[in-house]
Amino acid sequence: MFSIGQTYTRDEIYAAVGGSKQAYIPTKNGCVVAICVRTDLNPRAPREILCGTGPIIAKAGRALASTTGKVPVFVKQAVNEWEYAGLYRVVGAHTSGTRFHALVSGSGRSPRDISIAIEMAP
Select from 75, 2, 1, 7 the least CA-distant residue to 38: 75
Q: What is the pLDDT of residue 1?
A: 82
As a whole number of angstroms, the longest Cα–Cα distance in the chain is 39
Q: Which amino acid is at 6?
A: Q
Q: Where are the beta strands (DSSP E) in the chain?
A: 7-8, 27-28, 31-32, 35-37, 48-51, 71-78, 81-94, 116-121
DSSP 8-state class, residue 21: S
Q: How far apart are CA 46 and CA 94, in angstroms?
A: 16
Which pLDDT does position 7 carry in this prediction?
Answer: 98
- Binned at pLDDT 50, 70 and 90, residue 24 comes out as very high
The chain-wide mean pLDDT, for the chain, equals: 95
- Is the pLDDT score of 30 beyond 90? no
**Does residue 71 register a pLDDT over 90?**
yes
